[in-house]
Amino acid sequence: MSESTSRVRIVVVLPEVFPGGGQALSDPHGTLSALARLGAAARLERMPSLVAAAEGVRGADLMVVDGAPPEAAAAVVEAACQAGVPVVAVVQREGEAVGWFRLGVSDCVAAGADGSRALAAAALEQIRRGRETRERRSVERRLAWLENLNTTIVNEIPAALVVLDRERRVVATNPAFGRAFGSGTRGRPLADVLPEDLRESAELDALLDRVAAGQIAAPATARGHGAGGRPVAFDLRVQRLDPAGRLLLVLTDVTERETLTRRIRDLQRYNENIIQNLNSALLVVDNDAGVTFANPMAAEILGEPGSDLRGRSVWEWFSTAAARGALLARTLSDGTRFRGAETILSRADGSVLPIGISCAPLVDADGTRLGAVAVFQDLTEISLLQQQVLQTEKMASIGQLAAGVAHEINNPMGFIHANLFQMAEYLADVRRLWAHVGDLQKAVGSGDVEATRRAASGLDEASRDIDADFVLTDFEKAIRESQEGSERIRHIVRDLRDFSRQDRDERISADLNQCLDSTANIVWSMMKHAVVLQKQYADLPRLRCNPMQLQQVFMNLLVNAYQAIEERVGDSGERGEIELVTLLRGDQVVVQVHDRGVGIAADRIDRIFDPFFTTKEVGVGVGLGLSTSFHLVQKHGGVLRARNRSGGGATFEVILPLAPSGETGAAPGDDAEAPSGEVEASRAP
């Protein structure tokens, strides 16, 4: 068997599967023996039934039917023809060949002595023809698929295609070309089809000439105006198709791309102008804390004006103390965001600047962290302004206390003044008495008994006249009372001096109970006619803080408590109660100011810490007291809370950490809950 018939599958249908089938070719010239001549590469499959033959013919190279009239084999022949498998029929009776060919068999072989050799030859021929037919059909299907693919691509490609002949006339176009430049262009010169501004902007004629001459031309961009005068742009490419000089011109509309590119460039310039002229510093760092971008203000604040900061470690400015770089470090490590936190940075010249900083992670489109963005401002001037505002607030508080303080000083000054007048009179009496003592001394010194008796009698008479015992006793009492009054004045003046002293924003070790008590002493003169003051101080460790700032907080809370009581009691003569409590709560110090005033309205409790929010009449308050207090407590790493008390009144609570952190941007939490039914406010201004 030749190579062309190797690895073939032949389905054989013999007489036993046909009811009343005829006599097959007898061995050794029978059907199977004849097909066996094809060699071992031909696999013969003897079908056990007509159903098996109809189903098993798919994928076969040949079917051979023997021992049946044409009408009996019609079903299996039809199945073979539908599967594209050639059929060879063994004809047993004269005249049956016509019937077989009508069924669609490819060849017939007469049964008989010569049938064995004829069957093998017919099988080889039909296998060859079948393969050729299948290959031709496969090639035809492939060509049809490629033609359909080419047509689809040409029709659906979002680019205008036009084929030109040697004279630059349009030979063929795709639908995209018709939509862009109009239909019915076949046979027309390209110059009549494409707008002149497009051709001239891309120097199209010269480009076509170079490609027609066999040169390689780079893509060009053609720009012009479309419908309605709208600017358009096309990416233009030319390819030579064949020796006959036909050219393919591809025009891709890039108007939108150019518009987007131009908008991106404009946005880049816009953003660059904003970033470069920001009054805030902007730093972008990678995951290793290396600076990848810094605007001019960042270089200025960091003390590196005019230098390129890229590649330098951000820890050069933020890591001189562990806490100073904590915000940025947390953003880089776990993606934590911070907004409006306060910290400090160190510059190369050794100076330290207070800054307000916001940090956010830098992520790509997939959410992968690429580093961090830090925006910060120099707070030096703002800190000075804050100190001035704080000092102004202090002086305003002192102004509110002025009348009470004047009264407190006037009382001891009154009796000191009266005692001084009395002591002047007593001093005249003492001098008169002292003169008689002098006369007695002289008489005794002279030895004159009579003179001594008269001097002693005069001294005794003067002593009775001025009541010397009373004068000396009352003189001593007046001195003691004057000393007590002056000491009271000295304490009042000292407390006022300490409270009004300019705040230097320095932290020292201080006794919080003493700070609270000193402030209460100052306020007491103003509110003692309407308030009963209770104190319950715990034994507190010394706290590293700014006592001047905390005294300002306590002053504001006490004045607010007094005003709330005064508003409740009015002119009734009733006295309200303020209770001052200090206590330890875990690693926190707590100062509570309880009052039995009017309390805080439910619709206002969320706003009491807002700047300029006040419930007082015009001229009584400007709404900065609680806002300033909140800010000062927050600077100490603490939190200021307010809540209404059951039964009336309010409680303000200052919570401070025993070991304050180096950062001032966040207040610590507190696990204590407000009593049931109480409304609490601890919102930042």
Q: Does residue 373 share a domain with residue 387? A: no
Domain annotation covers residue 79: yes
Residues 645 and 512 in one domain: yes
CA pair distance 162, 183, nearest whole angstrom:
12
398 confidence band (pLDDT: 50, 70, 90): low
The last residue of one of the domains, among 348, 378, 408, is 378
Closest of 325, 339, 333 to residue 369, by C-alpha:
333
Residue 301: partners with Cβ closer than 8 Å, 6 or more residues away: 281, 345, 353, 355, 376, 377, 378
Of all residues in the chain, the percent with pLDDT exceeding 90 is 15
What are the residues whose beta carbons fall under 8 Å from the beta carbon of 576, sequence distance 6 or more? 530, 531, 532, 565, 566, 568, 569, 595, 596, 597
Among 338, 360, 378, the domain boundary falls at 378
- The CATH number of the domain holding residue 551 is 3.30.565.10
Residue 387's pLDDT is 64
Distances from the Cα of 346 to the Cα of 295, 352, 354, 378, angstroms: 18, 5, 9, 12
pLDDT, position 393: 60
DSSP code per residue over 169-231: BEEEE-HHHHHHH-S--TTSBHHHHS-HHHHHHHTHHHHHHHHHTT-----EEEEEE-GGG-E
Q: Residue 486 is inside which H or E element, if any?
A: helix 468-500
Return the ∠ at Cα 296 (arms to 290 and 299), rounded to 5°: 50
* 334 band by pLDDT with thresholds 50, 70 and 90: confident
Is the bond leading into 158 cis (omega within 30 degrees of zero)? no
490 or 232: which carries more pLDDT confidence? 232
The verdict on 253 and 163 lying in the same domain is yes
Residue 205: is its pLDDT beyond 60? yes
> Are residue 664 and residue 524 in the same domain, yes or no?
yes
The answer on pLDDT for 291 being more than 50 is yes
Same domain, yes or no, for 326 and 446? no
- Distance between CA atoms of residues 119 and 38, nearest Å: 10
Residue 268 included in any domain: no
As beta bridge partners, residue 360 has 373
CA 32/CA 35 separation, integer angstroms: 5
Statement: residue 643 has pLDDT above 80: yes
| Residue 144 covered by a domain | no
What is the predicted pLDDT for the residue at 169? 93
Q: What is the pLDDT of residue 499?
A: 57
Is pLDDT at 656 greater than 90 in this prediction?
A: yes
Kindly report the CATH number assigned to the domain that includes residue 367: 3.30.450.20
pLDDT at res. 614: 53
How crowded is residue 90: how many other Cβ atoms within 10 Å of its Cβ? 29
Give the total number of structural domains in the chain. Answer: 5
**438 confidence band (pLDDT: 50, 70, 90):** confident
Strand partners, 593: 580, 652
Residues of the domain holding 183: 157-259
| Average pLDDT for 446-453 | 80
The pLDDT of residue 635: 83
Q: Percentage of the chain surpassing pLDDT 70?
A: 80
Residue 584 has a pLDDT of 93
Please tell me which residue, 113 or 677, carries the higher pLDDT value. 113
Residue whose C-alpha is closest to residue 250's, from 228, 269, 235, 266: 235
Q: Is 647 helix (H, G, I), strand (E, B) or coil?
A: coil
The predicted pLDDT at position 538 comes to 93
Q: Are residues 615 and 566 in the same domain?
A: yes
Q: Are residues 421 and 315 in the same domain?
A: no
pLDDT at 412: 66
pLDDT at 198 over 80: yes
In a domain, 267, yes or no: no
Q: 162: Cβ–Cβ under 8 A, 6 or more apart, which residues?
A: 170, 172, 173, 174, 177, 185, 190, 193, 248, 249, 251
> Which range has the worst mean pLDDT, 161-165, 180-184, 316-320, 336-340?
316-320
Cβ proximity of 667 and 638 under 8 Å: yes
Convert the pLDDT of each residue in 463-473 to its tens digit.
788 787 887 88
Q: 321-340 in b/e burial notation, b at 16+ Cβ within 10 A?
A: eeebbbbbbebbeeeeebee
> Which carries the bigger pLDDT value, residue 608 or residue 429?
429
Dihedral angle over CA of 255, 257, 262, 266, nearest 10: 140
- pLDDT score for 536: 93
Whole-number Å distance between alpha carbons of 195 and 80 = 61
Reference 664, options 279, 387, 324, 266; nearest CA is 324
321 and 442 assigned to the same domain? no
Mean pLDDT on 517-523: 82
Report phi then psi at 533, rounded to 5: -100, 120
Q: What is the mean pLDDT of residues 103-122?
A: 82
Given 459, 484, 499, the domain boundary residue is 499
Residues 98 and 168 in one domain: no
Tens-place pLDDT, residues 577-634 = 999 999 999 999 999 999 988 887 766 666 666 654 455 543 344 345 677 788 888 8
- The C-alpha R_g of the chain, in whole angstroms, comes to 56
